[in-house]
């Protein structure tokens, strides 16, 4: 009797199972996130009110929830649906790439595809039509205090939290050591110059009118050096050697010549030859120990063609003579940077 009962029970269970399977519905509810149906009708249609971009904005749902099915890098996971086919830069939002350093490294590795960021964050990166109130410009990273936009110069090079310092250190590759060619003597020229006024980026580089301008992101590293400024090109044909990282023929480093015939009669006594010329020194870009800015490096003490040359006078002679007292003091220190390496001859306090 027990055996018959067991057999009947098994047969009844199988019958119910088969009947249940025969009634499976095709409109199975999709995965729910935070209690809301995510993949409903129109979820992939931008014109639908259920479009996933609008869903994120309306519900404030984090797209990290998408990784449950689409994988940690949004490349398909167990769904086989790769989000990056439409959102080419979505992988920048994984755990390993959202820190300040790795965020930029990801974009650099993908040719600075900021256009991909605009797909969700909008043309001005202010949040866009769909994204969940996520503005790149006011989240503490790309705020007005830091340049105001991911396209600000200091996003990729310079001081990220100081938009007034757009030149390295921090190079495009993230380096800060002056021994790195992307860093070198940038700070010494643009921020901390002690023997002259600072120079502008335009002295040595073509300044792009925008981040996507020709010659900016569309060329590889290292950055091109093109001398434009009045000091670098004054009476000279400057050249940068990217092989040995040296500058040559720059006015700033001693490629100058001042003619006796052009000098006021009261100053011509200082000329021992027809011209007073500099030493035309070729500094190495990555040697930032102060030795290349020492007096006597870019011109003799006194310069060639000046009375007293080549006696190699002490640096204090320039200030003691009274001729250049408005530029240098009796200890050889530059006291007026406006009057040194400025393209002019400044004597007797002028």
Read off the pLDDT of residues 186-208 as tens digits, 9 standing for 90 and up. 999 999 998 999 999 999 999 99
Q: Are 253 and 282 in contact (CB under 8 A)?
A: yes
Asked if residue 98 lies in contact with residue 139, where contact means CB atoms within 8 angstroms, the answer is no
pLDDT tens figures, 30-57: 444 443 445 778 887 878 888 887 877 7
Going from N- to C-terminal start, the domains of the chain cover 31-135, 211-350
Please tell me the pTM assigned to this model.
0.74
Q: What is the pLDDT of residue 27?
A: 34
* CA dist list (Å): 178 to 89, 182, 240, 285: 32, 8, 17, 9
pLDDT of residue 161: 82
- Which of 136-140, 183-187, 344-348 ranks highest by mean pLDDT? 183-187
Residue pair 303/272 in contact (Cβ under 8 Å)? The answer is: no
Q: How confident is the model at residue 138 (pLDDT cuts 50, 70, 90)?
A: low
Q: Among 94-103, 150-159, 186-195, 236-245, whose mean pLDDT is lowest?
A: 94-103
Residue with tokens 């001859």: 345
pLDDT at res. 108: 80
pLDDT band at 98 (very low <50, low <70, confident <90, very high): low
Mean pLDDT of 141-159: 80
State the CB neighbour count (10 A cutoff) for residue 298: 23
| Integer Cα distance of 194 and 292 in angstroms | 12
Q: Strands 36-37 and 239-241, how do they pair?
A: unpaired
pLDDT of 9: 45
Handedness of CA 172, 173, 175, 181 (dihedral sign): negative
Query: Is the backbone of residue 306 left (phi > 0), alpha (psi -120 to 50) or beta?
Result: beta
What is the pLDDT confidence band of residue 253, given thresholds at 50, 70 and 90?
Answer: very high
């Amino acid at each position: 009797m027990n055996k018959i009962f067991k057999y009947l029970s098994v047969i009844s269970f199988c019958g119910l199972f088969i009947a249940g399977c025969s009634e499976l519905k095709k409109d199975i509810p999709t995965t729910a996130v935070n209690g809301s149906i995510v993949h409903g009708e129109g979820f992939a249609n931008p014109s639908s009110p259920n479009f996933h971009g609008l869903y994120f904005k309306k519900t404030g749902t984090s797209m990290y929830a998408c990784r449950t099915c689409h994988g940690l890098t949004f490349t398909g996971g167990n769904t086989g649906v790769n989000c990056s086919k439409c959102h080419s830069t979505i992988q920048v939002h994984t755990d390993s790439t959202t820190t300040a350093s790795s965020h930029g490294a990801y974009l650099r590795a993908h040719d600075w595809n900021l256009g991909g960021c605009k797909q969700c964050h909008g043309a001005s990166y202010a949040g866009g039509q769909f994204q969940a109130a996520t503005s790149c410009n006011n989240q503490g990273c790309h705020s007005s205090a830091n340049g105001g936009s991911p396209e600000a110069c200091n996003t990729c090079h310079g001081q990220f939290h100081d938009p007034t310092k757009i030149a390295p250190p921090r190079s495009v590759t993230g380096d800060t050591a002056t021994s790195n060619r992307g860093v070198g003597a940038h700070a010494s020229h643009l921020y901390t110059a002690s023997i002259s006024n600072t120079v502008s980026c335009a002295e040595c580089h073509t300044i792009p009118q925008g981040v996507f301008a020709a010659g900016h992101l569309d060329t590889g590293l290292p950055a091109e050096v093109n001398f434009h400024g009045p000091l670098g090109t004054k009476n000279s044909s400057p050249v940068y050697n990217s092989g040995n990282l040296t500058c040559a023929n720059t006015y700033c480093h001693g490629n100058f010549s001042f003619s006796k015939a052009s000098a006021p009669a009261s100053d011509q006594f200082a000329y021992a030859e027809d011209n007073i010329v500099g030493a035309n020194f070729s500094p190495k870009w990555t040697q930032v120990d102060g030795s290349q800015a020492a007096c006597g490096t870019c011109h003799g003490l006194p310069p060639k063609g000046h009375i007293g040359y080549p006696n190699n006078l002490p640096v204090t002679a320039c200030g003691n003579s009274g001729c250049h007292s408005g530029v240098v003091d009796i200890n050889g220190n530059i006291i007026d940077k406006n009057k040194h390496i400025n393209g002019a001859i400044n004597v007797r306090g002028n």
